[in-house]
Structure 1
């Protein structure tokens, strides 16, 4: 049976969710599709390109944040972008590790960063700080979610004796980061820094 690139990416995502990132190999993927490993290279030129495509698919399937809105509501929109990214990552096993790797290698998964920059353009940050603020938020979400997924999976596999964590401090940590950005945005302007309230997402 002939396969299309979409079939390859969809099956790779299923392998990721079932077996984890370490077992997402070209050989296993080929076996799932009942083709020779060499046949996959007609659709993706390398393992790295495959991982980037799977990361983009994870993000595509996740909720779409509200990027456009009133300029004064940019802190709430930052929270929305970050929360939607976390939700997308938590939907699939090892998705935070996958997207972190792809972002670090500069191979793709760039939609969340672009969304953060689009929102931060309304914040009035001093020159040059918008890219750094966007990367800081992105790293916080990826790192926090990676920690959550790793701890949960290690506990489920019996690798650690820790009980499941009673809750997540993601919302509190996100609020701290966004408050810091709001403080920088308020420097040199009248008024007081924005205090951001965020929902405590589970």
Structure 2
């Protein structure tokens, strides 16, 4: 097998999904790929650079298909965009933690902010300043709320409690209320 950036990202994400971010070490990734740890550094200068690449991979479905729904109001488009990002994070164990760490990469942070800002612009009369502030606020809320939700679920699993359903249902409700609150602050015309 030829060692590529993509194969390293895939192996790293597999390890993170199975064992968590804390157990995703460069040594473990190299062992899974059957190479010496130093070989990874030809493709990624540091673990942080690898985490940034994994974060981009997690967010790719949202960034690659950022189109808004035709006929949707700006509030509906924004709620849909925020939900898609949340779901992308929830699709991976420690997804919010990984992407939070990856946001140190200005390109990823700017692309996510621009994607949310575009949803806010879908028929709204918000100024560019308000769209930018709203997008940054929503990004931080999405990351924080999803990180909390994943942390609670991980704790329940570690304690041997049944984690099916309750956290996700509660998390979805809390998430939607938080997004609605931010949109209301931006001038949403009605309850969401």
- TM-score (norm. length: structure 1): 0.81
The change in CA–CA distance for 1:19 and 1:3 in structure 2 (over 3 A counts) is same
Cα distance, 1:149 vs structure 2: 0.1
Aligned to 2:175: 170
Unaligned segments of structure 1, at least 5 residues: 184-192, 198-202
Other-structure match for 2:185: 180
Compared with structure 1, are the counterparts of its residues 95 and 109 closer, same or farther at alpha carbon in structure 2 (3 Å cutoff)? farther
Q: State the distance in 1 between where 2:130 and 2:78 align.
A: 15
More helix by share: 2
Q: Report which of the two structures shows the higher radius of gyration computed on alpha carbons.
A: 1
Shift of 1:132: 1.1
Q: State how many pairs are aligned.
A: 186
- Does structure 1 conserve the Cα–Cα contact (< 8 Å) formed by 2:90 and 2:150? yes
- CA distance in 2 between partners of 1:162 and 1:85 (Å): 22
- Cα distance, 1:37–1:109 mapped onto 2, change above 3 Å: farther
Offset of 1:35 from its aligned partner?
0.5
For residue 29 of structure 2, give the secondary structure of its aligned residue in structure 1. Answer: helix
Query: Superposed, which structure 2 residues align to 1:184-199 within 5 Å?
Result: 194-197=189-192
| 5+ long unaligned stretches in structure 2 | none
Tell me the TM-score normalized by structure 2: 0.85
- Measure the CA separation in 2 of the matches of 1:11 and 1:28: 9
Runs of 4+ with deviation above 6 angstroms: 159-163
